[in-house]
Amino acid sequence: MHTRTLGQGLQVSAIGLGAMGMSMSYGPNPGTREDMIAVLRGAVDRGVTFFDTAEVYGPYVNEELVGEALAPLRDQVVVATKFGWNIQDGAMAGLDSRPEQIRRVAEASLQRLRTDRIDLFYQHRVDPAVPIEDVAGVVGELVQEGKVAHFGLSEAGASTIRRAHAVFPVTAVQSEYSLWTRDPETEVLPTLAELGIGFVPFSPLGKGFLTGTVSPSTTFAEGDIRRTIPRFTEDNRAANQRVVDEVRTLAEAKGATPGQVALAWLLAQQPWIVPIPGTRRLERVAENAAATTVPLTADELASLDALAREVGVQGDRYDDAGMRMVGR
């Protein structure tokens, strides 16, 4: 596995692992807790050093899972988690990035992760009720105290990124980015390039769509978040199928999988981009990691880029409430 450098010199594997789906969002987990611990530890064996979780995943249980799995390997890995939600009775009850709340979350996350430091601490969503300068300031204090190593933002707009970075250096910004989600290209990616901040795409495989395993006839299980996402209605899946078909054709020609081509395209965009595909299966971890060895020529990259722009994508990536929380 190659390594890449995000902002502030943070080195991580070129492909990370998003752990959210092990605890929520994609329907019943076919594996046991022990199975998921084996996947997380097996990922380290395959060169993955960058792991992503959040207090709200579960809530709380995903951090506990990641903490238990990686405790014996702590010095070999970089663990990212997130703050910014008001969690009441096991559910999200709005945003909360008040400085005192950030400190409470940090202490609780340290306990659940079984560690004395959070390597990368993201604000999960921008809280319009709290100035981003205050957020950056308190994370900076946590860094000075040794409880946090790096500061990150998730789904933030360019102006917010600049304001935060002026108070305390931002190491990474995390947002959805893939062949069929191009929103960050207009303002966010140029801002990160200018400021020397890394970019961490989540859902780099389009929540499974770009792997070719989702079709217009797919039925999603109860509890699968894709049942609520406009982009995954049957009509929109049919309209978006052409992108997957073209990716599959290229993958077959290269002896790769569609998912590997989609990840290779992302890796080719910038050397400071580190995707974090999620999975609950070790064979998928190995497949995703091998995307770093899939070479795409300039012509192939241009063809994929042109295809994605020509076809576009039908359907928003969140419901209305979710869309109002991004790009602030």
**Which two three-digit tokens encode residue 237?**
């899946």
DSSP letter assigned to residue 180: T
Cβ count within 10 A of residue 101: 18
Query: Counting Cβ atoms within 10 Å, is residue 29 exposed (0-12), middle (13-18) or buried (19+)?
Result: middle
Task: Tell me which of 57, 60, 177, 318 is the catalytic residue.
Answer: 57
Beta strands in 44-179 (DSSP E): 50-52, 78-83, 85-88, 91-95, 120-123, 151-154, 170-176
Residue 144 near residue 173, CB atoms below 8 Å: no
Chain center to CA of 211:
16
CA angle, 138 then 176 then 296, to 5°: 125
3-state secondary structure of 19: coil
Cα separation values, 153 from 101, 169, 188, 291, 303, Å: 16, 11, 12, 26, 31
Residue 17 phi, psi dihedral angles, 5° rounding: -135, 120
57 annotated active-site: yes
3-state secondary structure of 37: helix
Distance CA 104, CA 83 (A): 9
Residue 101 near residue 110, CB atoms below 8 Å: no
Residue type at 173 in one-letter notation: V
Distance CA 62, CA 328 (A): 26
Residue 262 phi, psi dihedral angles, 5° rounding: -60, -40
Q: Which residues are catalytic?
A: 57
